[in-house]
Structure 1
Amino acid sequence: MNTEADNALILLVDDDVTFHQVLARSLRRKGFEVIVADGVDNAHSLLTRYQPDYAVVDLKMEGASGLALIPALQTLAPDCKTVVLTGYASIATAVEAMRLGAVDYLCKPADTTQILAALQGKAPNPSLSPAEQPMSVDRVEWEHIQKVLYEHEGNISATARSLGMHRRTLQRKLAKRPAQA
C-alpha cells in the first residue's frame, strides 16, 4: 500500500453517482479515505467538518460549477491540492481552474492512476509535442463559446446576445459533446 495514501483524505465532488462510487471505491483500495459530495453546496458543508488533503472536483454539475468550489477549498483547506475533472474540457475553463488554484485539469475519462499522479504532483511530460493538426473549426467554435459563456458567468441569454445567435441555437450547441480537436 502507498504510504502517501495512508490517512490522506480526498474530497470527491461529482454529481454522477455511478462515477463517484467507482472512483471512491478505487481510491479506498489504494489506501485513501474518501468523502463524497454530489455538488458544490454539499461540498461546502463537508468543508466545515473536514480538512481534505486532496480534492477531485467535477467541472459541470447541477447547480454551481466546480470552479466555484476552488476558492473555498483554498480558504478552508489551504494545503488541499485540487484537480478539476471534466467531460466538457475547454481552454477557458482549464486556464481559469489553474488560475483559481487547481494543480491540474484532466479530461474524462481519467483513471485512478492519472488522477493520483495529478494530485501528487508527478512531473509533467516535457517531451510532449504539439498537435500535428490545428484544432478543427467545430472545436474552435466550442472553445470560443465556452470562453464567452464563462465571461458571462454561465448566463445563456447574455452569451447568446454577445455571440449574435439565438438562445435556443446556443443551447443546442451546448447540449452536444465538445467537438474533437
Structure 2
Amino acid sequence: MASTDVVDLILKDHRRMEDLFRTMRNAEADRARALREFADLLIAHASAEEDEVYPALRRYKNVDGEDVDHSVHEHHEADEALLALLEVEDTASDAWEDALEELVSAVNHHADEEERTLLNDARANVRDERRAELGQAFLEARARYLKDGCGSVESVRARVAAAGD
C-alpha cells in the first residue's frame, strides 16, 4: 500500500517535478505535453499544501510560522515563472529555454528549502497518524484541483492575479 504520510507525498511530487523538468529540457521530447502535466501538478500541489498542510503545520510550536509564510511566497514566485513559460508558444525558442530555467530555479529553490525546513520539522514534530491524516487531506485537495484543470494558463493567470491583491 502506498504511503499517505504527507511528507512522503510531497517528496514524491517534488521528484516527479524534477522528472518533468528533464523532459522539458529535452529538445526531442514532447515539451508541451510535459509542461501541461507539470503545470497541473505544480498548481494542484501548491494549492493543496496551502489549503491543508501549511495551516496545520503552523499550529505546531516547533514548526516556524515564518517558514510557512516564506513557502507561500515562494509558491507565488513559482506561479509567476510558470505563467511566463505557459505564455511562450514556441517550445524550441530561446524564450522557452529562458522561461524554463527561471521556473526550474524557482521550483528547485523552493523544494530544497521546504525539504530542509518544513518537511524535516513535520517529521520531527508531527505524529505519524497526524501526518497520514494530513496526507489524505492533501491527496483529496490535490485531486480536486487536478479535476478542475488548475494548470491551464487561465487558471494560473487568475492565481497570479489573486496573489497580487
Bin for the TM-score computed over the shorter chain: under 0.3
Specify which structure has the higher proportion of strand: 1
Whose Rg is larger?
1
Specify which structure has the higher proportion of helix: 2
Q: Which has the higher contact order (CA 8 A, sep 6+)?
A: 2
